Amino acid sequence: MVPTRWHIARPGDGRPAYATAPTLPAVTSPAIRSATFDTVSARTFHDIVRLRVDTFIVEQDCPYPELDGRDILPSTQHVWVEDDGEVVSYLRMYPGTDGTAWIGRVVTAPSHRGRGLGGMLMRHALSVATGPVRISAQARLAPWYGSMGFERCGEDFDEDNMPHTPMVLRRSAVTAEG
């Protein structure tokens, strides 16, 4: 590949000068991984639960029973991103009893926040979900979910001493970007 040359004006000498265009390192999106409980490795599931506990129970000071039985359902999809073999962002998706899909436990490690990983996982999950998608959003994050098309579908409620907002995304609200 021949490098692109840029014209650089030199005042006063009347001759054009050229420079090779600067190059940037390749930017790649991290791989999104997805598995059911029966196919995820024990080590990966351990790392997923550790990230959830470190965030939702320790960091947010919200003791609650983290293991609720949904993780092991054959229909639950665990979706995550790793960095150097470490789980750094995660969500789970499972079908509800009313034909909706549920997304929950959306979490990103503090060291990787602000990089768009949670949004990337949400877009992925929404791209594979069929029908409406429901969430119980931490109330402070309702605007973030709203930016993806989720709408409030009930009154805020307290779950484990943390305010939550019930939200739904109707499939007509999903755009081509996910």
Which CATH superfamily, name and number, covers 30-173?
Gcn5-related N-acetyltransferase (GNAT) (3.40.630.30)
Q: Average of pLDDT values for 100-109?
A: 96
Instruction: Decide if pLDDT at 107 tops 80.
Output: yes
Q: What is the pLDDT of residue 15?
A: 52
| Mean pLDDT of the residues in the chain | 86
Where are the chain's structural domains?
30-173
Q: In the numeric block, which tokens belong to residue 129?
A: 């979900």
113-144 residue pLDDT tens: 999 999 999 999 999 998 999 999 999 999 99
Q: Are 112 and 89 in contact (CB under 8 A)?
A: yes
How far is it, in rounded angstroms, from Cα 120 to Cα 103?
Answer: 14
Taking the model in full, what pTM does it have?
A: 0.80
- Comparing CA positions, the residue from 122, 75, 84 lying closest to residue 103 is 122
3-state secondary structure of 122: helix
